[in-house]
Structure 1
């Protein structure tokens, strides 16, 4: 009896933009900013489109607010990603090795810097540093599983 079937694979889209700033540290930082900032813009655009569809109304004012929100989120997420990538690269250069500890230290420093820049104090900065280190380390471990 003849059989038919389908076999294939699904791959994630790959978008690669190379910006040469003349320095590996700057190249990685700008790359992180652009990639993660783009993700934040897409996330916000999707949320805003959902709200417009849900309410069933659209206006120039809503579109302007949506665009402002997209830019703000993209800049915020991109900045955090850029700082993290720069910190991780800096740890790699300082320590002279490439391992999970760079992600942990980079995430910890990024969490502390972002928290301090947000006018947080004392324990909140420490908790954000711990969270940053944990998230960065977990992301590296999950990424290495694939």
Structure 2
């Protein structure tokens, strides 16, 4: 019985924008803010485009609403990413080594900081810190595998 298959690899194009703020901490934080903020804005753009196509109507009001939502969501995602990247860099500098533990500690610190800024329930802040640390650690391990 004949068989066919596909073998190969796919790499996405890498886009790198370098903004020199004069400080490595600021450089990484701004880089994380811009890259992940753009992802958040693109997510909203895709959702709003789908909604307009699904409903079959586009108006000036809907476009303005979509742009405001893109900016808000992009700023939120970018801020979260900037805090995380800054925390990981700070932990790396304090510990003096670069390993998965930096991601775990940085994730937990940024999860606690962001959660603490948005609610006052200590139990929720601790849960969010543990979750963020676990997710950051998992991502670090997955990056090491590939």
Q: What is the TM-score when the length of structure 1 is the normalising length?
A: 0.93
In the other structure, the counterpart of 1:120 is 120
In the other structure, the counterpart of 1:25 is 25
Structure 1: stretches of 5+ with no match in the other structure: 1-5
User: CA deviation digits over 1:54-74, x for unaligned, max 9?
Assistant: 000010110011001100010
103 and 7 in structure 1: CA distance in 2 versus 1, 3 angstrom threshold: closer
- Alignment length, in residue pairs? 142
- Distance in 1, matches of 2:141 and 2:50, equals 33
Does 2:56 match 1:60? Answer: no
Structure 2: stretches of 5+ with no match in the other structure: 1-5
Q: What is the TM-score when the length of structure 2 is the normalising length?
A: 0.93
- Distance in 2, matches of 1:102 and 1:9, equals 30
What is the Cα deviation at residue 120 of structure 1?
3.2
RMSD over equivalenced CA pairs, Å? 1.5
In the other structure, the counterpart of 1:3 is none
- 2:14 aligns to what SS in structure 1? coil
- Distance in 2, matches of 1:58 and 1:95, equals 53
Displaced runs of 4 or more, over 3 A: 6-9
In the other structure, the counterpart of 2:87 is 87
